[in-house]
Structure 1
Amino acid sequence: MKEMRFGIDIDGTVTCPTSLIPFINEDFSLNITLDDIKTYDLSEALDIPMERFRDWFDEREPVIYSSSPLAEGAKDVLLKWKEKFQLFFISARRSHLLEVTEKWFDEQDILYDRIELIGSHDKVGAAKEYAVDLFFEDKHDNAVSIHEELNIPVLLFNTPYNQDPVPDGVIRVDNWAQAEKWVEAWLHSKKRIHQLD
């Protein structure tokens, strides 16, 4: 039995947060970069009517997900962790996209214990159900609510759209190398506390 369970968001965390940008630029005749997106709600960030953006996203989602590049450093870290921890990928993607998602994971050669597509941004229930010890996220309010409801650390991957203040148990990291370093220090401190008990 592996010692720890990690809950990990997919989009903007395992995948590169710029994944949607080329599609948005092409389909809406824009020329934006990630730095232009200051809020998680893309229809608001881009001043595109919500209904129009939702219809577009519903149509383009499978193509975007199947071609999303990996976040830099994610694969190396996740491959190492798969040997020591249980990896539960918990995403707001809807369940009909499970086949596309599993195929992408297979093509990227990323192993997992479970992929859970909950169709909602409220990940607290799934994180609780799978009793994860630590969570990795890019959406600010998700990170805060998971930390506050479950009293577990959440690593928030820094992006221009998640810059609101965070409580102490939400730890900002810039990349997977920093995440790995933080996890090593966290595990070391937990081990020391356990030895003192």
Structure 2
Amino acid sequence: MKNLNICIDIDGTITDPYFWLDIANKYFNKNVTIDKVTEYKVDIVMGVTRDDYYDFYDKNKFKMHNDNVSLRENAKEVIEELIKLNNIYFVTARDKDLKLLTYSYLNNNGIPYDDIFVLGTHYKVDMARKLKCDIFIEDSYENALQLSENGFKVLLIDTNYNRKPLNKNIVRVLNWNEIYELIKETLLCSKAI
């Protein structure tokens, strides 16, 4: 029997959080730099309407979510260690038509998992409940708040766009090595009880 049910977001959490920036800059004819990405919503960052963003995303989502998007440093290695003692579930807001591409991305990058859930929505609370999630690893501030307000422990991996006040169920982490140490500590504490 495995110890924890760990839910992990994909885009910005295991991947480079600014993977979309070059494509968006080119599409909207902008020159936004990483330090200016202080909001999660691409339309706000790019200074365009929500409809313009949706049009951009529909035209570019397969290109943006391809196998070449780089992983965050040590994400793969930490997940390889975590899955030895825990269940790993990827829970992503990606559009449902990206399901096969999502499986391909994880498999081609050698990322182990127990299951993948491509929700097509940013609302992850119901899936977290269904999976009996113990820890959710996320990059979206809004998702982290929503999950934490529903009783889930969240590790919020640091980005320029999520540096806002946290509540007691959210812990900011700077990298995947820190995630590993916190989960190891959680396991040690739970065994001591």
What is the TM-score of this pair, normalised by structure 2?
Answer: 0.95
* Residues 82 and 180, structure 2, Cα contact 8 Å, conserved in 1: no
The one-letter code of the counterpart of 2:94 is R
* Residues 91 and 116, structure 2, Cα contact 8 Å, conserved in 1: yes
Aligned ranges 1:153-192 → 2 under 5 Å: 153-192=153-192
- Measured on the aligned residues, the alpha-carbon RMSD in Å equals 1.1
How far the C-alpha of 1:34 sits from its partner, in A, is 2.1
Where does structure 1 differ by over 3 angstroms across 4 or more consecutive aligned residues? Answer: none
Work out the number of aligned pairs and report it: 192
Distance (whole Å) between structure 1 residues aligned to residue 14 and residue 117 of structure 2 = 14
Between the two proteins, what is the percent identity of the paired residues?
30
Unaligned runs of 5+ in 1: none
Is 1:97 the equivalent of 2:117? no
Distance (whole Å) between structure 2 residues aligned to residue 100 and residue 126 of structure 1 = 20
Post-superposition Cα deviations, 1:135-160, rounded to whole Å, max 9, x if no partner, equal 000111211221221x2310001111
* Residues 80 and 112, structure 2, Cα contact 8 Å, conserved in 1: yes
Distance (whole Å) between structure 1 residues aligned to residue 177 and residue 64 of structure 2 = 25
Distance (whole Å) between structure 2 residues aligned to residue 34 and residue 131 of structure 1 = 35
* Residues 16 and 72, structure 2, Cα contact 8 Å, conserved in 1: yes
Distance (whole Å) between structure 2 residues aligned to residue 40 and residue 12 of structure 1 = 10
Post-superposition Cα deviations, 1:21-54, rounded to whole Å, max 9, x if no partner, equal 1211222222222221111111012201211111
The one-letter code of the counterpart of 2:86 is F
Distance (whole Å) between structure 2 residues aligned to residue 148 and residue 92 of structure 1 = 18
Name 2:128's counterpart in structure 1: 127
* Residues 140 and 164, structure 1, Cα contact 8 Å, conserved in 2: yes
Distance (whole Å) between structure 2 residues aligned to residue 51 and residue 153 of structure 1 = 34
Is 1:64 the equivalent of 2:78? no
Post-superposition Cα deviations, 1:112-166, rounded to whole Å, max 9, x if no partner, equal 11110111111001100111111000111211221221x2310001111111201
Name 1:55's counterpart in structure 2: 55
Post-superposition Cα deviations, 1:44-66, rounded to whole Å, max 9, x if no partner, equal 12201211111111111111111
Q: Secondary structure at the match of 1:164?
A: coil
Is 1:38 the equivalent of 2:61? no
Is 1:144 the equivalent of 2:145? yes
Unaligned runs of 5+ in 2: none
What is the TM-score of this pair, normalised by structure 1?
Answer: 0.93
Name 2:2's counterpart in structure 1: 2
